[in-house]
């Protein structure tokens, strides 16, 4: 990867995307210009980040250099977007890749008229290299540019191309999903606690059970219905548990949760 890259907002997710590229020597830290907002973050990155990148504070002398880079990764929080003002420099073939949750291509194109824009949705497991990334390509993105952008994300996540109208539901399933799973882990652990298990042990058992169940589904291609039937015997313990969940409409609550997150994401467009 030879182009110079600007990272506007070098926070948690940007680090998760960029660091593996340095680790694998696919990017040279000297070719990457990163922008943060506060002096505290600037100093923290200078002191603690393991690579010697070009780190700059927004609105400081010389920080406009980021607009010279052909490719920009935009990774501030959505509410911070209003503070990012495009500097008209090179008008041709500039590429801006946004990972801002819920910010539409239309909004990006209006805000960055001198850039071709790409909208990306990724999720928190990207911080351990196990992310899921959905990409909606704006107009006129060339094959080479698409390949370049995919290489930015493929070291930390699995990539899926999506039309933009499916990105909200992708975001809901993949980005709200981890919080839903965390809540389920917490609740099942509390069930173990109620039955007399120590909290830490109970949580460990739940996490290992979920990992094992997911591996079983992935490795054997069992359908979820087949797996459920395998562990549900007539008049047994599991059907007794499932009956409680059906009575309390857990299935419907989870479906509505995913639809609700997607609708909320659409409100941010
Ligand atoms: N967190 C998640 O689960 C997740 C998952 C997928 C995608 N996302 C998306 O990823 C984006 C970044 O999230 P994050 O969790 O990485 O946030 P974060 O850690 O707070 O990082 C935001 C970065 O933007 C910088 N910044 C703020 N205002 C700026 C400005 N005016 N100019 C330049 N830099 C500025 C911040 O600098 P300071 O530190 O100096 O303030 C910080 O480095 C969000 O848009 C979010 O929607 C998040």
Task: Name the percent of the chain lying above pLDDT 70.
Answer: 98
Which residue among 73, 76, 96, 132 is best mutated to probe the pocket of ligand 1, counting the most ligand atoms within 8 A of its Cβ? Answer: 76
The answer, yes or no, to whether residue 92 has pLDDT greater than 80, is no
| DSSP structural state of residue 151 | H
Which residue among 13, 63, 126, 128 is best mutated to probe the pocket of ligand 1, counting the most ligand atoms within 8 A of its Cβ? Answer: 13
Strand ranges (E), 1-151: 5-8, 32-36, 54-57, 71-74, 94-98, 115-121, 131-137
pLDDT band for 1, please (50, 70, 90 cuts).
low
Closest Cα to atom 18 of ligand 1:
11
Is the model's pTM score more than 0.85? Answer: yes
Domains of the chain with CATH codes: 5-162 (3.40.50.720), 170-268 (1.10.3730.10)
Q: Which atom of ligand 1 is nearest to the CA of 57?
A: 33
What mean pLDDT do residues 61-71 have? 93
The ligand 1 site (C-beta within 6 Å) comprises 8-14, 35-38, 41, 58, 75-78, 80, 83-84, 99-101, 122-124, 175
Ligand 1 centroid, distance to 6 Cα (angstroms): 14
Element (H or E) spanning 211, and its range?
helix 199-220
SS3 state at 77: coil
pLDDT band for 177, please (50, 70, 90 cuts).
very high
* 123 contacts 178 by C-beta, under 8 angstroms: yes
Decide: residue 21, CB within 10 A, 0-12 exposed, 13-18 middle, 19+ buried. buried
pLDDT at res. 90: 65
Q: How confident is the prediction for the chain on average, in pLDDT?
A: 95
What mean pLDDT do residues 205-214 have? 98
Say if strands 54-57 and 71-74 run parallel, antiparallel, or are unpaired: unpaired
pLDDT at res. 93: 77
């Amino acid at each position: 990867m030879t182009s110079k890259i600007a990272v506007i907002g070098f926070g948690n997710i940007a680090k998760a995307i960029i660091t593996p590229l340095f680790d694998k020597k696919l990017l040279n830290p000297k070719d990457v210009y990163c922008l943060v907002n506060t002096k505290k973050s600037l100093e923290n990155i200078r002191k603690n980040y393991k690579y010697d990148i070009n780190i700059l504070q927004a609105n400081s002398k010389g920080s406009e250099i980021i607009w010279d880079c052909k490719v920009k990764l935009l990774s501030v929080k959505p509410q911070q977007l209003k503070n990012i003002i495009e500097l008209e420099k090179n008008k041709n073939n500039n590429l801006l890749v946004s990972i801002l949750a819920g910010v539409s291509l239309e909004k990006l194109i209006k805000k960055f008229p001198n850039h071709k824009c790409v909208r990306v949705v990724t999720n928190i497991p990207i911080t351990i290299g196990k992310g899921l990334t959905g990409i909606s390509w704006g107009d006129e993105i060339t094959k080479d540019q698409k390949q370049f952008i995919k290489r930015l994300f493929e070291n930390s996540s699995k990539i899926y191309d999506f039309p933009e109208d499916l990105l909200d539901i992708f975001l809901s399933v993949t980005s709200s999903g981890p919080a839903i799973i965390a809540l389920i882990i917490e609740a099942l652990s509390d069930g173990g606690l109620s039955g007399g298990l120590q909290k830490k042990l109970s949580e460990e058992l739940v996490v290992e059970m979920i990992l094992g169940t997911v591996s079983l589904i992935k490795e054997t291609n069992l359908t979820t219905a087949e797996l459920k039937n395998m562990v549900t015997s007539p008049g047994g313990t599991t059907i007794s548990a499932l009956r409680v969940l059906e009575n309390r409409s857990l299935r419907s609550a989870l479906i509505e949760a995913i639809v609700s997150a997607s609708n909320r994401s659409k409100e941010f467009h």
